[in-house]
Amino acid sequence: MPYLDDPLIIFTDLDGSLLDHHDYSWKPAQPWLDKLATANIPLILTTSKTSAEVTALQAALHLTHQPYIAENGAIIHLPPGWQTSEQESVHVMGACYRDIRQALVDLRQRYDFEFRGFGDVTPKQVAVWTGLSEAQAELAMQREASEPLVWFGNDLDFSHLKKCLSREGLALTRGGRFWHVMGTDAGKGQAVQWLSAQYRQQRGAPVTSIGLGDGPNDLSMLEAVDYAVVIKGHHDHQMPVNHRNNSQVFRTTEFGPHGWCQGLDHFITLSQRENV
Positions marked active-site = 13
DSSP letters of 3-59? Answer: ---SPEEEEE-TBTTTB-TTT---GGGHHHHHHHHHTT--EEEE-SS-HHHHHHHHH
Number of Cβ within a 10 Å radius of residue 108:
16
Tell me which residue of 241, 252, 190, 249 sits closest to 216, measured CA to CA: 241
Contact indicator for 146, 99 with CB cutoff of 8 Å: no
Tell me which residue of 206, 242, 238 sits closest to 228, measured CA to CA: 242
Radius of gyration, CA atoms only, the chain: 18
